[in-house]
Structures are given as structure tokens and as C-alpha cells.
Amino acid sequence: MTHHSGILRAQLARLTGCNLETIRYYEKVGLLPDPPRSTNGYRVYPPDLVQRLQFIMRARDLGFAVEEIRSLLSLTDAGQQTCAEVMARTQDHLADVRRKMADLQRIEATLMASLAQCSGDTAPDCPILDALNCA
């Protein structure tokens, strides 16, 4: 049920598939505005917040950090976004994703090499611990 043409937090969660704790977190970090309370004390969200929350969730799925999302939203909130600015921010994010992928590939190779040297028997010597102990 709607209250004064708004929706409640539980409805916002249901409409977006975002859990309540995450919605509270996004409010706390300023990605979602603090909703006004209705006369009966319920927090009532404007219906257009569904679209904003879906944008945030998609950006998080793509690995954008909270700060990066805040930056994108502040551009759109101010009506000052240009495709070039959004493109530059996305290129920066893609470069960061590629760095993380390279780090993960290096980690994978190290773990695979350590496991390959492991006998898995009851001996106290362990190549994995040796790899962790050396600098």
C-alpha cells in the first residue's frame, strides 16, 4: 500500500530485489537521499527512487565503487553529465578492472604452482606454507 504517493522501504526492497540493510547502507553513504517520514512515522520514498536504486545496483554489479557511483550520480543530479565525462570515468574503471584481473591471474598461477608441489601427505613440510613464508 502506498502512503501519500510514496513507497515504503520494504516495497522499495521488493521492487528492486535489494535487501533492506543495503538500502540503509546506501542512504548512510549518501547514494540514496534520506527519505522524509510520513505523519505516521514511516519512511516514504518517492517512486522514482526505484530507478535510482536499480542504477546503483547495476553499477555495483559492474564493480563500480561507492565513490565512483556517487560521482556519476552527482553529475546526473546536477544535470551536468556529458557522454565524454561518463566515458572517461568508465575507462578509468575498466583499467582498474583489468589491473585486478591481472592480479587475480598472478594469484591463481602462484596458488596452482604451490599446489602442484604439494604431496598432500602427512609430512610436516609444506610447499604452500613455504611459499607463504618467503618474501
- HEC per residue, the chain: CCECCEEEHHHHHHHHCCCHHHHHHHHHCCCCCCCCECCCCCEEECCCHHHHHHHHHHHHHCCCCHHHHHHHHHHHHCCCCCHHHHHHHHHHHHHHHHHHHHHHHHHHHHHHHHHHCCCCCCCCCCHHHHHHHCC
Please give the pLDDT value at position 106.
Answer: 95
Please give the pLDDT value at position 2.
Answer: 45
Q: What are the extents of the domains in the chain? A: 1-81, 82-135
Separation of alpha carbons 53 and 35, rounded Å: 13
The phi, psi pair for 51, rounded to 5°, reads: -65, -40
pLDDT in tens, 39-92: 888 888 888 899 999 999 999 999 999 999 999 998 888 888 888 988 999 999
Q: Cα–Cα distances in Å, from 120 out to 111, 131, 132, 134?
A: 14, 15, 17, 20
- Mean pLDDT value across the chain: 88
- Helices within 17-82 (DSSP H only): 20-28, 49-61, 66-77
Instruction: Say which CATH class 1-81 falls into.
Output: mainly alpha
pTM comes to 0.75
